[in-house]
Amino acid sequence: MKKTILNSLVLSAFTLTASVSLADIKDGTVLSAANIDSLYEDTFEGHKIKDLLTEKMEWRIRESGLQMPLVHSQKVEMDAKWIARSQSNVGQASLNEKTRQVEGWQGGMPFPNVDEKDPKAAEKIIWNWYYGNPRGDVMNVPNVSYVMIDGDSGIERSQNWKFIRYTMKGRMNGEQTEGDGGELSRTLFFATAPRDIKGLGTYTVRHDNDQVEDIWAYIRAVRRTRRLSGGAWMDPIGGTDQLQDDIEIFNANPSWYEGYKLIGKRHILAGAHGKHSAWVVGAENQDDEYPVLDLKNPPYWNLSKDNYEPREVYVIEAITPEEHPYSKKIVYIDTQYPRVHMGEAYDKKGEFWKMFQFHSYPGTGDDGYRDIRTTAGVTIDFKRNHATVFFPDTATWSTNTTGLNMDDVNLAALRKGAR
pTM for this model (two decimals): 0.93
Beta-carbon contacts of 31 under 8 Å, excluding residues fewer than 6 positions away, are 39, 49, 61, 67, 68, 69, 70, 269, 308
408 closest CA partner among 176, 177, 203, 170: 203
Contact between residue 318 and residue 326 where contact means Cβ atoms under 8 Å apart: no
Helix, strand, coil percentages (3-state) for the chain, rounded to 5, are: 20, 35, 45
pLDDT at 22: 55
The string of pLDDT tens digits covering residues 108-155 is 999 999 999 999 999 999 999 999 999 999 999 999 999 999 999 999
DSSP string, 346-371: E-TTS-EEEEEEEEEEEEE-TTS-EE
Omega into 299 within 30° of 0, i.e. cis?
A: yes
For 196, other C-beta atoms within 10 Å of its C-beta total 11
63 closest CA partner among 78, 73, 71, 53: 53
Omega into 254 within 30° of 0, i.e. cis?
A: no
pLDDT at 351: 98
Cα angle at 198 between 192 and 202, to 5 degrees? 80
Say how far apart CA 243 and CA 379 lie, in whole Å: 10
Please, what are the averages of pLDDT over each run of 10 residues along the chain (419 residues)? 45 41 84 98 98 98 98 97 97 96 96 97 98 96 96 97 96 94 95 90 94 90 82 87 95 97 98 95 96 98 98 98 97 98 98 98 96 97 98 96 94 84
Within 133-203, residue ranges assigned H as helices are: none
pLDDT at 23: 72
Say how far apart CA 324 and CA 235 lie, in whole Å: 9
